[in-house]
A and B are shown apart, each in its own frame.
Chain A
Amino acid sequence: MAEGLASEHARIGELVGDQPAEWDLAGELPDGLLRKLGAEGILCAQVPAAFGGLGARSQDNGELTAYTGSLCSSLRSIMTSQGIAAWTIQRFGDREQRRRYLAELTSGQLAAVAFSEPEAGSDLSAMRTLIRPAGDSVVIDGQKVWTTGARYADLLVVLGRYGDGAAAVVVPADAPGVRVEPVTDPMGCRAAGHSHVRLDGVRLPASYVLGGGGQALSLLFTTALSYGRMSVAWGCVGIVRACLGAAASHAKRREQSGKPLAQHQLVARHLSELLIAEQVSTRICEHASRCWDAGSADMVTAAVLAKHVSAGHAARSAATTVQVLASAGATDGHVAARAYRDAKLMEIIEGSSEICQLLLAEHALATVP
């Protein structure tokens, strides 16, 4: 099934070319490129064909995500955000909302999903953003931070409290009361458009609340984050692949002390570790995608496991790659330097490594009486 989405791989390769270094330095992705990829359904490839999407399996979208991640983690982050938005709408939206929004997300409109708040990061249950019913409308007040892709987004899927439970509401980025302020100088994924979002008395028709609202907050964010974890996990596979490629070709060509770096045993060990990282993270992501495609309840834990393992490998592989390339990779914009900064953030977003470990420990405990 490695052939799935072959033309989409080619399309990404063709549109991205050698620009990621430039995008990293500028801290910005070309808006036109994002809209082009969006209109071709590539940014959220798992949207079913009935809604205008490519109807890709998790496995195939995973490989597409890894390929994108191997080229540019900022662009891959946009793919993750668009995918989470589409998945959340697909799961929680009513029939009309699915039809309307999924058509928009596959025809060039861009979306971001706002989870984190100043006081609610790892503990999303501390979320304060309020979505308040007011007749045929809802009024939204709150503050979101580090919303990936919000800088480019037309639609912001905002999670917040709603009565006794929670809700996700689709907020047009240009609605009165919405302010999007790009994060200045993010350490990694510099062109991913991370932004702080302020919502002050934003009044929207109640029909913008997905499924009428009133879901359990944990169901809402676990569902949304599960897609995000799959996407980040595969994106990390891409980072590891880029690292492996860069380190191996450098070690093969660069000579020191009269022989190629690769023939120095300590460098050779780095290469073997990169290959192990690439294989381990690929296999664990494949497993999670199989669970996802089979509709197995294990997919929830498998996504956490895949994200945690792949992000750890990506961060270590990036550090190793900078070590092998040394001065050759130590300039911003270089694939090794980008990997080093981008991968570290992957150990933080979509559930930090520590949160993943707690979830996995909880799972381990749940399997014994």
Chain B
Amino acid sequence: MTTEQTFGFAPVSTDVITDALVSFLTQRLKTEVAPDQELFKSGLVSSMFAMELVVHLEASYDIAIIGPELKLDNFSLVERLREVEGVGAEGTGEDG
């Protein structure tokens, strides 16, 4: 699925991405989420949520988040998630 996608990431200001992420998280988690809030260690997200978030980000930004980008550290904070998107995904190059 993911490797078929092309890298269609248009330049978007980081604030716009942060806002979109905070809004998705707030809507899904039914609670206010701050950009610097710990998502996993706080127990805020369910065991299923991490995968839902990855799939949501891929669909929203037309990227593939695979391989080393799926490290825990990259998903700990909204601020870090934004960086994952900025990088795009390492699997979107010649693989696909």
Contact = CB atoms under 8 A, between A and B. Distances in A.
B is bound to A: yes
Interface of A: 46, 48, 50-51, 55, 90-95, 97-99, 125, 164-165, 210-212, 214-216, 218-219, 221-223, 226, 292-301, 304, 359, 362-363, 366, 368-369
A301 B48 contact: yes
B91 A95 contact: yes
Contacts of B1: 46, 292-293, 295
Contact of A218 (B2, B50, B59): B50
A212 B53 CA distance: 21
Interface string B52-69: 111110110000001111
A98 B4 contact: no
Contacts of A292: 1
Interface residues of B, number: 34
20 contacts: A95-B67, A95-B91, A95-B95, A98-B66, A125-B47, A164-B72, A211-B68, A212-B68, A214-B73, A215-B72, A216-B72, A218-B46, A219-B51, A222-B47, A223-B51, A294-B59, A295-B1, A300-B51, A363-B48, A369-B30
A219 B67 contact: no
Contacts of A369: 30
Nearest to B54: A219
Nearest to B5: A295
B28 A296 contact: no
Nearest to B66: A91
Contact of B59 (A99, A165, A297): A297
A222 B95 contact: no
Given A90-B3, A95-B91, A98-B91, A295 B59 contact: yes
Contacts of B3: 48, 50-51, 90, 98
Given A292-B1, A300-B51, A362-B46, A211 B96 contact: no
Contact of B50 (A219, A294, A299, A368): A219
A214 B46 CA distance: 18
B67 A368 contact: no
Contacts of B46: 218, 362, 366
A368 B29 CA distance: 10
Contacts of B66: 90-93, 98, 211
Question: Interface of chain A, helix or strand or loop or mixed?
Answer: helix
Contact of A297 (B56, B67, B72, B95): B56
Contact of B51 (A50, A226, A362): A226
A358 to B, nearest CB: 10
A211 B91 CA distance: 11
A92 to B, nearest CB: 6
A271 B73 CA distance: 53
A295 B54 CA distance: 10
B69 to A, nearest CB: 8
Contacts of B4: 48, 55
A165 B72 contact: yes
Contacts of B29: 366
A357 to B, nearest CB: 14
A95 B59 CA distance: 21
Interface in B31-53: 40, 46-48, 50-53
Contacts of B95: 50-51, 95, 98-99
Contacts of B48: 218, 222, 300-301, 304, 359, 362-363
Given A216-B75, A296-B59, A297-B56, A94 B50 contact: no
Interface string B68-93: 11111101000000000000001101
